[in-house]
Amino acid sequence: MKGRGFRVVFFTLLTLGAATALYLWLRHAEPVSVTVVVVQRGVVEDTVANTRAGTIKACRRAGISPRTGGQIDRLPVKEGDKVAQGEILMTFWNDDLNAQVRLAESEYESSGAKAEQVCILAQVAEREARRLRQLKRQQLAAEEAVDKADGDASAQRAACAAARSAVNVSKSRLDVALAALEQTRLKAPFAGIVAEVNGEVGEFVTPSPVGIPTPPAVDLMDISCVYASAPIDEVDAPGIAIGMPVRIALDAFPERRFDGRIRRIAPYVLDREKQARTVDVEVDFDIPEACDCLLPGYSADIEIILKARAEVLRIPTESLREGNKVYLLTADNLLSSRAITPGLSNWAWTEVDDGLQAGDRVVTSIDREGVVDGAAAKAEESGRDD
């Protein structure tokens, strides 16, 4: 028993000696260079970002194609032109339809003149019938003459009504001819920019067959209003809602960030081959005037702010180790492992509920060689923008 106790004491002293030697070695070893950030108060947000690049889109965009085929006769616009609502974009050969319209107009005028003639005769017959009825009351006209005058007046009234109906028929035929002529003209449904024109004067254009999409004759977009559309992973979709604030970043303007709000969340999930399932989200810009410089087609990234807390203790998320631990650089320039209680977090910042206080120096270069608990260290400038 005495020998066993001696061995326990011996190994205990040996372990203590090794630990002491390690501690002294760490104290006198060359200090490891680390980057540190001073723990301060600030804003921490819980955010969700798009999984793939989003796109700036025009609020209104129309691919305009003819309802019937035809040969392009006039092409008064070109790509990049600004057009007003109702302006003609493309006209097809329509001499035959113009002739039909002129014929229908002539028939309409002719039927109108005939109706006027017949109705005047009806008025004359009605006056004659009234005159004979008055003479009959004075015993100056025969009953047979009165009956004949009443019959003529009735017949003329019917002829007038028929003539007026014929005018309406002629008007309808003219409307049909005008409608057919109108189909040979593509007009702008709204004011905008001509983005694309498919066709040249003299070429034939045909409408798309059922189930086979073809390029539109004219692609028109209204760039006075734009929005951002981006795919969000299906896992993140349940946490977002219409009206949530969003930050929008564009590759074309790397130094700028645009504020916006969710205006629409697609009510379905897109399942594309070899890609994660996503939900499309549309974002309006808070200040429309700020996006006058944006063009449809720009790539855009959105960051949806789910929650935000202001004036909380925070540390860079990159400084957080497994097990919710961080390295502190103490006043005597030693590294000290510290467990913390994290709160709200994103890729940049993590809220600290417990374990740290303002002014503590947290190490962000935790993957460098020599960064271990108890090691001597010296601080570098972090270069982080707080």
Tell me the C-alpha to C-alpha distance, in Å, between residue 193 and each of 62, 161, 287, 291, 300: 11, 51, 22, 16, 21
Considering only CA atoms, give the Rg of the chain.
43
pLDDT of residue 3: 54
- DSSP for 193-254 reads EEEEE---TT-EE-PPPTT-----SEEEEEEEEEEEEEEEETTTGGG--TT-EEEEEETTEE
Q: Which of 238, 239, 234 is nearest to 305 (CA)?
A: 239
Q: For position 8, what pLDDT does the model report?
A: 57
Cβ contact 15:359 at 8 Å: no
Residue 353 tokens, joined? 């509920």
Specify whether the CB–CB gap between 207 and 67 falls below 8 A: yes
> How high is the pLDDT of residue 382?
61
| The residue type at 30 | E
What backbone phi and psi angles, to 5 degrees, belong to 195? -85, -30
The two tokens of residue 99 are 């002739």
- pTM beyond 0.85, yes or no: no
Sign of the alpha-carbon dihedral angle for 342, 344, 346, 349: negative
Q: Tell me how far apart the alpha carbons of residues 382 and 386 are, in angstroms, rounded to a whole number.
A: 10
- What residues form DSSP beta bridges with 222? 60
**Exposed, middle or buried, 167 (CB in 10 Å: 0-12/13-18/19+)?**
buried
Q: What is the pLDDT along the chain (386 residues), one digit of tens a residue?
A: 455 555 655 566 667 666 665 555 555 557 888 999 999 999 998 888 888 889 999 988 888 888 888 899 999 999 989 999 999 999 999 999 999 999 999 999 999 999 999 899 989 888 888 888 888 788 777 888 878 888 888 998 998 999 999 999 999 999 999 999 998 999 999 999 998 999 899 888 887 777 677 788 899 998 888 999 999 999 989 999 999 999 999 998 988 899 999 999 999 888 775 667 899 999 999 988 777 778 888 999 999 999 999 999 999 999 999 999 999 989 888 999 999 999 998 888 999 999 999 999 999 988 888 888 888 888 886 655 55
